[in-house]
Amino acid sequence: MSVVEKFNSLNGKTISRKRIESVIDLAKKENNAEIIYRLSKVLRANPSVNSFKFNIEQYPTTRLNAPRHTGSYKEALDNCGRLKPGYKFEKGRVVKIERKKPVKKTAKPKVAVKKQAKPTKKAPASTNAKTPVKPLAKKAVKPTVTRKRKSDPKKQLELFGMNGRKKTTGLKAPVVETVEPVNEPVPVVQQRSRNPRALNIGAAGNDGPASYFTVMGEEGKFLQAVERKPHHSVVITMDGEQGAGKTTTLYKFMNAFASHGNSCLFISGEEHPQSSLAIEKRDKYLSSQAIANTDIVAEVNSMNDLYDLIKDYEIIFIDSWQKLVRMVGAIRLDEDLRKKFNGKVFVIIFQQTTDGRTKGGSEIVFDGDIIIKMYKQPSFNDNYAAFDKNRYTKIPIENIRYNIANGTVYNPNEVTEQEAENIEIDYSKLNFETT
């Protein structure tokens, strides 16, 4: 998409400042001074505004040229609207490049220095006697000693949380003596020849700290961390049986990503953007800020068309993978998407067959960095999403779920206070005495 088409597409939309700056960067690459001038003027006039409602009136078909302007623009632009040599754009303004004159270096006078003869050292007298060398003494490691304490069944239960109550504050923890570590010599790493493509593992990641996308709300709590990879992209897959809530979850994820300003593209192969179903979900699940940062397309003509669409966005939502394959032909998730682009996120729905298998082969789903399974219950209000795999999880995946209807995160294994009070324990059958 050219910068003129991208500029015209802003008409009638609410656009974030970050989106406008990306259009200005594209205009600089295409040397379109007209768009740079117009958008930069808007940003300079409103330095504290983060979103703008665009209304483009009578966009001119001719380029910006010198006869139409005065001042620095008249001097810097030729009749075709291009910058003349010796000028550049800086912060939305035309600036003349001033070349610094080279400074002549004055030669310093040479001073003759007399070299002094080094004193010669006499070699020590040879001797046949050998000096005894004492071996290094290793520090003794003190054994770990725990003080025995007479056990109380009730206090033991409180200590291990078996009765649902908090640990008694008066119960002291066992005392453990500290152990001094033995300092061992560090082995010397010998220099070796290696293939130039093989990077030492200690040098990896030294370009800077990892960068992550901001994901709002409960969906962000569920995903925990989504990396903006410097190389390759992150793939999030979702699959489940019909009626489990895959499309509903996709829209809620879309709102969580786009509300913070991430640019999103939705390839809607299941529902046409003009259909009442798509419009109803848009109005129900997407905020006004998310709508401003999300574009939608129904048809993809070829692989090249797909690549041309993807390159301008950060987050790409696809519903569904099977419909995309019908539109563009044979496509590989790992080679043609995840490794083809850098720093993007692909959120893709996979359809299932009647017997619960993924259409097109289950091995495709395994290429994802985050694999989400949808589970259908007798009531839609109880349908939930859970991780089958999450490379970025901070907690065990069996302890986190996402309720699709309510859009809330919960721990299915957490015992509530009411459940803890209802637990009855027969203390007479428990014995904590040690022999």
Give pLDDT tens digits along the chain (435 positions): 788 888 888 888 888 888 888 888 888 888 788 888 888 888 888 888 888 887 876 545 444 555 556 667 777 777 666 777 877 777 667 777 777 666 666 666 665 555 665 655 555 555 454 555 555 555 566 666 566 565 565 555 555 555 555 444 444 444 444 445 556 665 555 556 677 778 777 766 656 788 999 999 999 999 999 999 999 999 999 999 999 999 999 999 999 999 999 999 999 999 999 999 999 999 999 999 999 999 999 999 999 999 999 999 999 999 999 999 999 999 999 999 999 999 999 999 998 877 777 776 666 767 889 999 999 999 999 999 999 999 999 999 999 999 999 999 999 998 766 666 666 655 555 555 554
Residues in the chain: 435
**Distance of alpha carbon 235 from alpha carbon 249, whole angstroms:** 16
CA dihedral sign, ordered 200, 201, 206, 212: positive
Q: Note the pLDDT of residue 403.
A: 97
Question: Which CATH number is associated with domain 217-414?
Answer: 3.40.50.300
Q: Say what angle helices 276-285 and 246-258 make with each other, to 10 degrees.
A: 50
Domain boundaries, the chain: 3-96, 217-414
**Distance of alpha carbon 433 from alpha carbon 435, whole angstroms:** 7
Residue 23: what residue type?
V
Contacts of 326 (CB under 8 A, 6+ apart): 269
**Distance of alpha carbon 258 from alpha carbon 242, whole angstroms:** 26
**Distance of alpha carbon 216 from alpha carbon 139, whole angstroms:** 54
Residue 51: what residue type?
S
| Closest among 43, 46, 14 to 27, alpha carbons compared | 43
State both tokens at 361: 């082969």
Residue 431: what residue type?
N
Sheet containing strand 370-375, edge to edge, reads 294-297, 264-268, 315-319, 345-350, 234-240, 370-375, 384-390, 401-403, 408-410
* Cis, bond preceding 320 (omega within 30 deg of 0): yes
Q: Say what angle helices 33-45 and 17-29 make with each other, to 10 degrees.
A: 150
Q: Note the pLDDT of residue 13.
A: 86
User: Which phi-psi region, left, alpha or beta, contains residue 347 (left: φ > 0; alpha: ψ -120 to 50)?
Assistant: beta
> CB–CB of 97/87 below 8 Å?
yes
Contacts of 415 (CB under 8 A, 6+ apart): 164
| Closest among 284, 230, 224 to 254, alpha carbons compared | 284
Q: Note the pLDDT of residue 269.
A: 94
CA atoms within 13 A on the CB side of 354: 0
| Cα angle: 335, vertex 338, 344; to 5 degrees | 150
CA atoms within 13 A on the CB side of 198: 4
Q: Where are the alpha helices (DSSP H) in 81-216?
A: 153-160
* Cβ count near 138 (within 10 Å): 9
